[in-house]
Amino acid sequence: MVKRYCIALDNYDVYPGGTVTGQVFLEINERTKARAVRLSLVGKEKVYITRSNGQGKTSSTYCAKRKFVDEQVTLLGLPKGTFLEKGRQYSFPLSFSLPRDCLPSCGHNVGNRIVYEIKSWVDRPMKLDLKCRAELRTCSKLDARFM
């Protein structure tokens, strides 16, 4: 069904207030009915806290999740009954601006973390959507006055 569906960013490391740019590439092996090709930028955090009674015998774990960046755009809106053609290569430019006060990403592949993702999906009627994603890293700018 999908020969290639990926997001290629020009730079995977971005500063707060910076712009994320790149391309979404899509190539399919068979004619596919679609409503749209969409794109989103999501910034989210996940935190785990474990409390113990001090004896080490019982503990409680709490989890909290929050999205602090959630932007979405439509790359290609299609009229009802439109198909993406077999063998055709689609390419869509992308550009998102990060908020100036966004938190630096951290904790990849561990429990507590802050993550920023670019996600793309082909919205297909009455079928599972085709999806791809790319993770980017944000880092704080160092202030040379404090070095």
Q: What is the mean pLDDT of residues 61-82?
A: 90
29 phi, psi to nearest 5 deg = -90, -15
**Under the phi-then-psi rule, with left for phi > 0, alpha for psi from -120 to 50, and beta for the rest, what region is 109?**
left
pLDDT tens by residue, 25-56 = 999 999 999 999 999 999 999 888 878 777 76
- Tokens 């009674």 locate to 53
DSSP 13-40: EE-TT-EEEEEEEEEESS-EE-SEEEEE
The yes-or-no verdict on residue 145 having pLDDT over 60 is no
Pair of tokens at residue 51: 């409390």
> Which of 12-16, 107-111, 127-131 bottoms out in mean pLDDT, i.e. has the lowest?
107-111
Grade residue 117 by pLDDT with cuts at 50, 70 and 90: very high
- Considering only residues 20 and 55, tell me which one the structure prediction assigns the higher pLDDT: 20
CA distance 62 to 82: 46
Q: Cα–Cα distance between 97 and 95 in angstroms, integer?
A: 7
- Asked if pLDDT for residue 146 goes beyond 60, the answer is no
Could you tell me if 69 and 97 are in contact, meaning their C-beta atoms sit under 8 angstroms apart? no
User: Can you count the helices (H) and strands (E) in the chain?
Assistant: 0, 10
pLDDT in tens, 73-90: 999 998 988 899 998 999
Of 87, 75, 114, 115, which is closest to residue 31 (Cα–Cα)? 87
How far from the centroid of its chain's Cα atoms is residue 142's Cα? 25
